[in-house]
Chains A and B, each alone.
Chain A
Amino acid sequence: MGVTSKLGDLGIVTVRLEDTVNWARTRAMWPMLFGLACCAIEMMSTQASVYDLSRFGMELMRPSPRQSDLMIVAGRVTRKMAPVLRQLYDQMPDPKWVISMGDCASCGGVFNNYAIVQGVDEIVPVDVYIAGCPPRPEQLIHGIITLHERVKQERITDWA
């Protein structure tokens, strides 16, 4: 607040650029409307009236990957779905983040077999993992807040 203290109260707040950008990014994340299995139902619960994800600026889920910056992989990823999921990730514009919701997406969960990708981090980089089968809405919200904390740590030098 150096300028303000020298010139008096001008009604101006000075902040760091990276803090402002990170604040804007965390307060208006647009998750992609993309559910795979059971966790998607809990993701819908999180969106709905009781848990109300719009408290975190996330009520708007975009069905198009081109308009979204957060991918919540909600459910088991099959080998047939994996190329589709990677393509959706590639279509998202930067900056983009991935939350792996639930045991199946994080590590294969109870399905250690031929059909399921043993962790979605084999195909896309994951920022936050959420345990649970399926995770409760509170756990998803905690995961999202953890991601927010992580985004707030980003520095200008990382953006290049």
Chain B
Amino acid sequence: MSGLQDSVWAGDIQQLKGLVSERALSGETIVLNMGPQHPSTHGVLRLMLELDGEVVVNCVPDIGYLHTGIEKNMEAKRYEQAITMTDRMDYLNPLGNNLVYCLAIEKIIDLDVPPRAQYLRVLLAELTRINSHLVWLGTHALDIGAMSMFLYCFREREKLLDIFEMVSGQRMMSTYFRPGGLWRDVPEEFEPAVRDFISYFPARIDDYERLLTDNPLWLDRTQGIGFLSAQDAIALGCTGPTLRGSGVNWDIRKAIPYSSYEHFEFDVPLGQHGDVYDRYLIRVEEMRQSLRIVQQAMDNLPGGPVRSNDRKYVPPPRSELGTSMEAVIHHFKLWTEGFRPPEGEVYVRVESPRGELGCYLISDGSPKPWRVHFRTPSLIHLSALPHMAKGYLIADLVGIIGTVDIVLGDADR
């Protein structure tokens, strides 16, 4: 019984003054808790909802249920060790997190990355984007009531995870990108597997669209819901599909190309209405565009090394250790002490599946980063969520939470 009594809130509504409107204090509207254990909050998001009947008057997100202290932990690790932490931040986009962190290190020490590594980075980052969008589509449709989408999306996702496992040995937390390139070259089976996926996947996207795009139930649940105007989206700092759904053409891959994205041809889909449905269309189209990039990267994949030759920052290959004394010294120094970048601070940004993912890195010249900060899209979009949810029915709230594609590991870190 004690558990039951504990669950009854003993607080006073006056404590919430400032968070809820005056109408809630007089009892005219009700205050309802949603989460952190709720099937459609995509993890451990907690929302305090103020409801007038079924209409959401206000919603106040409560974050921190997945605060992991990743940024602080990274300060205690050497630069290369800390890459493992970035995987676990936005766990639907592990390779994208690796990428932004490695780009920051490469920028601060001005390290070269061979073209083959850059192309493979683009290829794998785009596969990760498809992977993330598949999870988004499956769970978003599941929240709205389309159960079978979840099964289809996860079926295709397994094929991608097999590719990631093939190159890195891990399905999700691959830690495959390293400062100066990649951990090692891709295996022989990589190309057939990717080509197989390229030929297999477009028909699957058509299947998804056949199931959802013109489905009257889906249209009813998504059109005209969660509206966000272009001005508001910019003012709230939205990026990625959330911003593009409102018709703003801003994609970092196009605007500030990184890691050889300027060599690839792809379109940036834009929405017109800024509602849940438009953002759905954009993400589905992004999967097609990502596949185009993967195709181009595979066709034009250059040969050569996959990691920089700068021995002060990149360990020598195993084969050199038996023949070169210098290689042994470098190897020993890098694995016992790590490398020392020059003092300074950098900010780099990439386009993650959710939006602008930035990494702000400060080095004090020691082998460990002095400060690493990530500008994560989920956190910013979470602050835009109340704006999008106000005035809609509580039943539509799950669709609105789904459409901003929140990953709580990304928001809380």
Question: What total count of A-B pairs have CB within 8 Å?
Answer: 103
Contact A113 B155 (CB under 8 A): no
Asked if B173 CB lies within 8 Å of chain A CBs, one says yes
Interface string of A71-92 (1 = CB under 8 A from B): 0000110101100100110110
Contact B157 A45 (CB under 8 A): yes
Asked if B172 CB lies within 8 Å of chain A CBs, one says yes
Which residues in window 29-55 of A have CB below 8 A to B?
Answer: 33-38, 40-42, 44-45, 48-50
Contact A84-B37, Cβ < 8 Å, known A41-B135, A116-B68: yes
Asked if B85 CB lies within 8 Å of chain A CBs, one says yes
Contact A80-B65, Cβ < 8 Å, known A49-B154, A110-B84, A110-B88: yes
Which residues in window 393-413 of B have CB below 8 A to A?
Answer: 408-409, 412
Contact B3 A91 (CB under 8 A): yes
How far apart are the CA atoms of A88 and B37 in the complex, in Å?
9
Residues on B with C-beta less than 8 A from A49 are 151-152, 154-155
Stretch among B38-46, B178-186, B221-229, B374-382 lining the A interface: B38-46
Chain A contact residues: helix, strand, loop or mixed: loop
Residues on B with C-beta less than 8 A from A133 are 88, 173
Chain B contact residues: helix, strand, loop or mixed: helix
Contact A84 B92 (CB under 8 A): no
Which residue of the partner chain, among B67, B88, B151, contacts A48 with CB atoms under 8 Å? B151
How far apart are the CA atoms of A134 and B161 in the complex, in Å?
13
Contact A48-B154, Cβ < 8 Å, known A37-B88, A78-B66, A91-B3: yes
Contact B67 A78 (CB under 8 A): yes
Contact A41 B92 (CB under 8 A): yes
Q: Which residue of B lies closest to A133 (CB)?
A: B173
Residues on A with C-beta less than 8 A from B64 are 78, 80
Contact A78-B68, Cβ < 8 Å, known A37-B409, A41-B92, A87-B6: yes
Contact B155 A48 (CB under 8 A): yes
Contact B85 A110 (CB under 8 A): yes
Q: In the complex, what's the smallest C-beta–C-beta distance from B72 to chain A, in angstroms?
A: 6
Interface string of B42-75 (1 = CB under 8 A from A): 0110000000000000000000111111101100
Interface string of B76-90 (1 = CB under 8 A from A): 000000001100100
Residues on B with C-beta less than 8 A from A116 are 68-69
Write the residues of chain A forming the contact surface with B, with a CB cutoff of 8 angstroms: 33-38, 40-42, 44-45, 48-50, 63, 65, 75-76, 78, 80-81, 84, 87-88, 90-91, 110-111, 113-116, 133-134, 136
Write the residues of chain B forming the contact surface with A, with a CB cutoff of 8 angstroms: 2-4, 6-7, 36-39, 43-44, 64-70, 72-73, 84-85, 88, 91-92, 135, 138-139, 150-152, 154-155, 157-158, 161, 171-173, 408-409, 412
